[in-house]
Structure 1
């Protein structure tokens, strides 16, 4: 029988108030799957590729999806994809049932508490999460992959891990290079507020701000950088692992980007930008993997004090604990589990070793 490659759709959206993190993590999985000779395409809310330039230049087909149950397929694909990977906060189990008309298997990734799913494989990469949390909320035969070991991070982070950890083991001076990365969409224009606070709190440090081309802070930050030589801007960068590896400390959002920093052992302050980030971020803070600020409104009051606590000794302790959280190989682990599921469903592979 002629082998046909697996056809896998990814259903994820980006919005200005949601950010682009869902699509960015799905891109990590898509790249791994494509390297295994899978056919991969995205179905997203209109405008998602504009908000996430990395999706637009990824080379993957991007189709407009109108609603949680809409799953358009590229021309030339079979009538049903082998699987759909769903990364949507607004979907529920009934939507996943509907998607089965267009895909042989349903895989969902979850960051929220309390939702029920009708999927064959569920991924919850949150810190402190376990499969037991999903008893009674997924079908009995659904496989659950839980914990930061399954975080969908780009392979560049795992590749940079050893050198980054070695650099931190040698670091004995106070922080001199601060990386600020609050997400591509810069929710609420928070990047400018943080930049001003850090420049004032750490007068000897270089402050590097990473943001997207449509970030609301960008005009004000360009003006500030013109008069402040210690402030550097990185717009729509594609080498975050390198930049994180070179930073002494970081200030960033909770969620998946906090786990990127953990892979590299980067001491950080995580600012919770959305309710779904709170449980995992606070768990990481309790275990000593990072320092946390619970709300955007608390940034002005709390950030200067937290930066003052970033002594070499505190940074070393944060780095060691952060590095123990995950190794950056979650996309491969999830990808292998997805292909096991797909191959088990396909007639051409069902009776072969």
Structure 2
């Protein structure tokens, strides 16, 4: 039986301007937890435009880089909607990944896959190189050959979404209590409070890439309010194609602060009274810290979970990005400026949904996963 110090973990995940950065960022959180318990962690990533390979290496993890290739998806592919995210046909991605694994010279105890373009065909064929496979997913739209499945999102039919598409023996880790939050959020939780004093500071963040430029919409909405006592913190990722324009807009406002690829997200969330942002993993960061959010979905795969969280009263869902204008955002902000009690209700509900994450996260996510490959 191997101890934690002997566990070899490989993570297959990608980031790009189209994919966004959320998959890689949550895998980095998972990697940190493995590493803290003594595991050796390496990444396999393709060099898409907007990739995060350099950041992963800066975080201390070796990265095996797959070459970029602009691959058009085959419409006959059963996973057509996301197939092009691999940048190669799945068979070629499999061959490239398998070659890298075989050259490592050591047994791979756990392969973590966080990629909408990978399904059971790829997974079954990688089996001879790894002991166990863990899938991080939230779509529940394709079959998997896996031993562990992690879906940190909240759904009405959460316990049964994966029935029939994963093996019966698969260990399921489901719901926000398993959310992959960085250590900074665990620390910040101690300082988080129910927002009961009204809105004085807003945080605008729409993920690492924000390809539809919702950040500019939020800034334009802020300008419409003409609230001189209101401050807005604007955060963009390094892969945001509009970051120069956003920085320019912020520089013209005396009450706007601009941040690019900051490591202060938890601090900014604790300081804010209200957030404007996208769905996705950031939802759980905001809820964990009791930060009420006006949420705009920026991808189709965010809509179902955002609607469920809104129905529980933990966020204000404004709509899909194509249906949301700066005036609509301004109206929503004004609602909470005038009704601070509503702000407190959302703040409290968000924290309640996350439950005792600070107590179960390390034990249930890291401990369970590492023990499963011992």
TM-score normalised by the chain length of structure 1: 0.89
> Are 1:335 and 2:366 matched, yes or no?
yes
CA distance in structure 2 between the partners assigned to 1:211 and 1:149 by the alignment = 27
1:315 to 343, 348, 351: 343
Deviations 1:42-97 (A, max 9, x none): 1011147844764241010011136542242497550x310101100011111111
Corresponding residue for residue 346 of structure 1 = none
Report the count of equivalent residues. 338
Report Cα offsets for 1:152-210 as digits up to 9, x if no partner: 11121122113112xx35x42x3111000101112222211211112322613111110
Deviations along 1:259-295, whole A, 9 cap, x unmatched? 1000000011111111111111110101100001221
Q: Distance in 2 between matches of 1:124 and 1:216?
A: 29
Once the two structures are superposed, residues 286-343 of structure 1 have per-residue CA deviations (whole angstroms, 9 ceiling, x without a partner) of: 1100001221122215312211221210110000000011154475222222112101
Deviates more, 1:6-15 or 1:181-190: 181-190
- Determine whether 1:127 maps to 2:151: no
Rounded Cα–Cα distance in structure 2 between residues aligned with 1:299 and 1:109 = 30
Change (3 A) 1:238 1:48: farther
Aligned pair partner of 2:173 in 142, 145, 167: 145
> 1:106 aligned to 128, 133, 139, which one?
133
- The answer for the alignment partner of 2:207 in structure 1 is 183
Conservation of the 8 A alpha-carbon contact between 2:17 and 2:49: no
- Shifted more, 320-329 versus 203-212: the winner is 320-329
The equivalences for 1:31-180 within 5 A come to 31-47=32-48, 50-51=51-52, 54-65=55-66, 67=90, 68-69=93-94, 70-71=97-98, 72-73=100-101, 77-78=105-106, 80-128=107-155, 130-165=158-193, 168=194, 171-172=196-197, 174-180=198-204
Distance, in Å, in 1 between the alignment partners of 2:20 and 2:361 is: 20
Tell me the distance in 2 between the aligned counterparts of 1:201 and 1:25: 34
- CA distance in 2 between counterparts of 1:279 and 1:31 reads 29
Higher mean C-alpha displacement, 209-218 vs 262-271: 209-218
Normalising by structure 2, what TM-score?
0.85
Per-residue CA distance 1:15-57 (angstroms, 9 max, x = gap): 1011000000000000010000100011011147844764241
C-alpha displacement of 1:217: 2.3
CA contact (8 A) 1:41 1:60 kept: yes
Distance of aligned partners of 1:217 and 1:290 in 2 relative to their CA distance in 1, 3 Å threshold:
same
